[in-house]
Structure 1
Amino acid sequence: MIIKILRTSLLILVVTLAAAFLLPNLFNDREKKAFSDEYRLYSAKQLYNVRHLGDSATVLLSDFYNRGAIATRILGDHYRTQWATPVNLPVFEMDTIMGGLTFEEVGGGQQTFSVKLKNESERTYTLRSVNKDQSRALPVFLQYSFLRPLFRDQASALNPFGALVTERFEKALDILHTSPTMYFIPYDSTMTEVIQAQLSGRVMILEEEPDKSWTDSYNFNHPDDIISTKEVLTGAMNKSLVIDSLEYLKARLLDFTISDWDRHGGQYEWAVYHSETLPIARPIVMDRDMAFFKFDDGLLNQVALAINNKFQSFNAQYDDISGLIRNSKDIDRYILRNVSLDQFISQAEHVQNVLSDSVIDNAFRVYPESVYRQLGEKHVRILKERRAKLDSASVIFHTLINH
């Protein structure tokens, strides 16, 4: 009897392992195509040679996220339709954009591919891929399991055009920020083979890389220096500079309005300005990948939210303020420790007043026309409802970081 039980258990284990690790790597042609550098390069050569394109190209960001009704019910609807909607984008022409750009180095985070560039004035820019490979967040051995396609699928919760809209709000609020522009990268035979293989056929966002090359630049209001979050916190602790806490609070309240839950020290650089007393540091906001995040519309996602509440969605209601500060609580507590509740409310009211109906209406018009028809009016309505509740959310925010 014991031997029979052991045999049965072993069989179950073998079948489970086969299902978890073997099947996802045998029946994955669609996934391979979507994330294959070779296929992307081949398609770009055949369809998108820069010599045969004009100033723009009609492309879709990814059809990998298309799912049937059952899968969508389990995994969430997210922004699947928008990822697979053809959009017209400007073609990236390195020799003319920003006065001409040259490649410096390839980089990127765990899930995002990026390239650093410089213009003739030695200002630094970054090209970041719009599509993400969420599976890279997994331990290496799990990247060969069923979790790989599952994690990759959840990039559909990202609004690929969110950063373009958010920049309009940052500008209205006078928040220092990078200025993203979305481009399609064609196949260009004048690029090196390495760069061709890495870039051709991608949709990417170009924006400033706010480092010391941008010192005294108009883009960031002529700072005397630009430093990292680690440097700014060290300087504040050493009392060699002061952080503009109200400016940081204003930026954080905008984060709440657009449901950008992924804010931490790496999402900011800091512009430093000399004054009669100590230098003053103001945040430069970057990396709006999670703006207008939509995650809570699948059965599996509800389970994930019960485990980790940080994946907050862009809904008319603020579902869980504690989730919106989960990644940033330590830095929030330090920078905002001396800001009163009245100041929290006052800054929230300021954001509410600046983000007028016309500012909101116009901001969402930066969506490609085909996407605006699908999402524009809905997102305008949601953001106005979140705006109306921002003062109440600021009170909860103050309470959470002071207890």
Structure 2
Amino acid sequence: MPLFYRSFYQRGWLALAWVGLLAGGCARRNYFLPDSRVGATATAPLPATTDSVRVAAGRHYSQHSDLYYLFLGRHYRPVWAAPVTVPVLRLATVVPGGLRPGKAGGGFQSISMTLEGKQDREYALRALDKDPAKTLPKVLRATFLLNVVRDATSAANPYAALTVPPLARAAGVPHTRPQLVYVRPDETGLGPGSERFQGKVALLEEKYEELASRTPDLAGATNFVGGETVLKKTYYQPAGYLDQPAFLRARLLDLLLGDWDRHERQWDWAAFPEANSRTRYQPIPKDRDQVYFRFDDGLVPWLASRRFIAPQFHTFRASYGYLPGLIYQAEFIDRRGLSQLKRADFQRIAADLQRRLPDSVIERAMRRLPPAVFALEGARLGGALKTRRQHLPRAADEFYQLLAREPNLGGSAQAERFVVRRFADSTTVQVFSSARHAPTTADTLRFRRTYFTAETRTLLLDGLDGDDIFDVTTTGGGRPIRLRLYGGTGQDQLLRQGNARHLRLYPDEASDLTAAQSERPYLSRRRHTPAERTAEN
């Protein structure tokens, strides 16, 4: 989890520290159960010949009083405690050729690692349960607050990822195929990371090459890169570009599923070489941990998820609710990955998803839940998905309007020419990869879009690195869209014709959603002072 997002987790929990008194005065050492097995053999040695076991992913989340649930919510506690039959992980036979341990993974919550198979194919192993201790400052990790943060894991449906493949396949979105496994309590074949997984239920899913071999849409991909890597590549090599219609299709599926945790690290990208040294990057969503999230059913989490605290903790229900909270985590990648799409594109793809996801597909997806879990949640989740599907065009339109309100168009590490034509009712922006020459040829045109005053309040253009030129012409009177130009590094120029109303240049700065630093050009969040905002307006 990037530091920016981690700070919002911390802010939500710190604002609620007082309620942690319900969970005791300090963090419990033995918070997690040592073994997920249930029944008479739960603590007995596991015979070497055992192929499957009955487990509960997190019984410890359901061992509390009604008063506790009143304050902290019931969430998916019955699901975490439900008995499920799961195959035992056998590294030698789980896939043809077997698996061997690779590098340890996991961010601030996940327990995960990479497993390596034949022909250098890679798989991800991720425990269903999490330990979010690292989301808190070290000084708070021994306090009652850690119990509160750990308990919030019960707001996630641990088996939700199993339902995604049928929906993604029907929607035309690349996807992984996770399978449940149980890691033996005496498993040592995972190397130094074995102890972290022993006795736990986990998801095993294939990575890049294995996924490409089974997905026709990914045939021809020459490389697979992570979310931050693809942003760096397109920053330094503007000939590379994100497949925006494919990204929008994936993001609308996220909205349908209520998957709010979709920041740039939650994506992999398949690279497809094209003519003129161009590279198209197609998105592959990953880490479906927050699908069908249920959080606001207790007094404390209800307060934590308010708009003024942590709106990204967005509860899944039949209605889409507060859409800015649902898309909050993906703000940066959305603005970079959907910048060229029009309102009609959002409606066209939303209507196509409606057609591709009939009731039969949704019902088949719900049947991928383990039987005991389906009995608890299958009907409710399926019904909510059907209702959300009916209202998807409306949600897509609101999504578009939120992005169109204050677009932030970033440049690259190279010199560019931003040609802006402003009118009372609209503003047209063109970005050319050749800054010093008159932009008269189509081969140097990187971006073109017209913004309308009815949709857009402020337009921000980022030059970032390079000696950029901002060529701005304002025609006529009226009140054009406010234009904010951020030069970043380099020797930038402003060529202006017409009046300068609602036009400001910040020659040595980067805007809120991008930064001039070449190492991480997309994570800075600089905010203007009140005096600067007053001057702008």
Which TM-score bucket, shorter chain as reference?
0.7 to 0.9
8 Å CA contact 2:260, 2:313 repeated in 1: yes
Q: Which residue of 1 aligns with 2:111?
A: 113
Structure 1 residue 393 corresponds to structure 2 residue 391: no
Q: Say if 1:276 and 1:80 are closer, same or farther in 2 by CA, change over 3 A.
A: same
In the alignment, the residues of structure 1 paired with residue 86 and residue 372 of structure 2 have an alpha-carbon distance, to the nearest angstrom, of 12
Corresponding residue of 1:230: 228
Equivalent residues of 1:215, 1:222 under 8 A apart: no
Amino acid at match of 2:167: F
Contact in 1 for aligned 2:127/2:203 (Cα 8 Å): yes
Question: TM-score, length-normalised on structure 1?
Answer: 0.87
Q: Report if the CA contact (8 A) 1:184-1:204 is conserved.
A: yes
Tell me by how many angstroms 1:81 deviates: 0.4
Q: Secondary structure at the match of 1:64?
A: helix
Aligned partner letter, 2:333:
I
Q: Is the 8 A contact 2:124 2:205 kept in 1?
A: yes
Deviation at 1:24, TM superposition (A): 3.0
| Mapped pair 1:69 → 2:70 | no
One-letter amino acid matched to 1:24: G
1:185 pairs with 2:187: no
Determine the C-alpha separation between the residues in 2 that align with 1:243 and 1:192.
36
Distance 1:279 1:155 in 2: 39
Separation of aligned partners in 2, 1:267 and 1:241: 20
Which one-letter code corresponds to 2:123 in the other structure? Y
CA distance in 2, matches of 1:192, 1:244: 37
Alpha-carbon distance change, 40 to 391 in structure 1, aligned in 2, over 3 angstroms: same
Q: Is the strand fraction higher in 1 or 2?
A: 2
Residues 313-371 of structure 1 show CA distances to partners (whole Å, capped at 9, x for unaligned) of 11011111101111111111121111000000111111111111000000000110011
Please tell me whether the aligned partners of residues 187 and 198 of structure 2 are also in contact (alpha carbons under 8 angstroms): no
Return closer, same or farther for 1:316/1:216 CA change in 2, 3 Å cut-off.
closer
Q: Secondary structure at the match of 1:328?
A: helix
Where in structure 1 are there 5+ consecutive unaligned residues?
Answer: 1-15
Higher helix share: 1
1:259-310: per-residue Cα shift (whole Å, max 9, x none)?
0000011001100112335222100110000000001111111210121111
Equivalent residue, structure 2, for 1:94: 91
Q: 1:356 aligns with which of 347, 355, 358?
A: 358
Who is 1:58 aligned against?
A: 54
Aligned to 1:382: 384
Q: Within 2, Cα distance between the matches of 1:72 and 1:20?
A: 14
Using the TM superposition, give the Cα deviation of residue 51 of structure 1 relative to its aligned residue in structure 2, in angstroms.
0.8
Shift of 1:136: 2.6
Deviation at 1:250, TM superposition (A): 0.5
Deviation at 1:111, TM superposition (A): 0.9
- Paired residue type of 1:221: A
Paired with 1:35 and 1:352, the residues of 2 have a C-alpha distance of 41
Gaps of 5+ in 2: 1-16, 406-537
Deviations 1:150-184 (A, max 9, x none): 11111000000111111221121221122211111
Query: SS at the partner of 2:297?
Result: coil
The offset of 1:234, in angstroms, is 3.6
Map 1:2-401 onto structure 2 (within 5 A). Answer: 24-25=25-26, 31-35=28-32, 39-40=34-35, 46-47=43-44, 49-53=46-50, 55-66=51-62, 67-99=64-96, 100-188=98-186, 191=189, 194-210=192-208, 217-219=213-215, 220-237=218-235, 238-277=237-276, 278-306=278-306, 307-401=309-403
Cα distance in 2 between the residues matched to 1:327 and 1:377: 29
Determine helix, strand or coil for the equivalent of 2:82: coil
Normalising by structure 2, report the TM-score: 0.66
For 2:74, give the aligned amino acid: D
SS of the equivalent of 2:400 reads helix
Change in CA separation of 1:50 and 1:209 when aligned onto 2, cut-off 3 Å: farther
Determine helix, strand or coil for the equivalent of 2:61. Answer: coil
Specify the alignment match of 1:5 in structure 2.
none
SS at match of 2:296: coil
How far, CA to CA, are the matches of 1:368 and 1:135 in structure 2? 29
CA distance in 2, matches of 1:101, 1:221: 24
Cα distance change, pair 216–358 in 1 and its aligned pair in 2 (3 A): closer
Structure 1 position 132, deviation (Å): 1.0
Calculate the aligned-residue CA RMSD, in Å. Answer: 2.6
Q: Is the 8 A contact 2:101 2:189 kept in 1?
A: no
Deviation of residue 41 (structure 1)?
Answer: 10
**In the alignment, is the contact (CA less than 8 A) between 1:215 and 1:223 conserved in 2?**
no
Classify 1:398/1:298 alpha carbon distance in 2 versus 1 (closer, same or farther; 3 Å). same
Paired residues in the alignment total 378
- Determine which structure has more spread, i.e. the larger CA radius of gyration: 2
State the identity as a percent.
Answer: 31
Distance in 2, matches of 1:392 and 1:61, equals 36
- C-alpha deviations, 1:75-128, integer Å up to 9, x for none? 111100000011111111100011100112223111111121101221111101
**Cα distance in structure 1, aligned partners of 2:189 and 2:111:** 17
Query: Contact 1:268 / 1:283 at 8 angstroms: preserved in 2?
Result: yes
Partners of 1:78 and 1:294 within 8 A in 2: yes
Q: 1:230 to 1:148 in 2, by over 3 A?
A: closer
Amino acid at match of 1:56: S
| Matched-pair contact (CA < 8 Å) for 2:23–2:147 | no
Deviations 1:201-230 (A, max 9, x none): 0101111233xx669644443411112223
- Higher relative contact order (CA closer than 8 Å, sequence separation 6+): 1
Residues 35 and 185 in structure 2, CA contact (< 8 A), matched pair in contact too:
no
SS of equivalent residue, structure 2 residue 133: helix
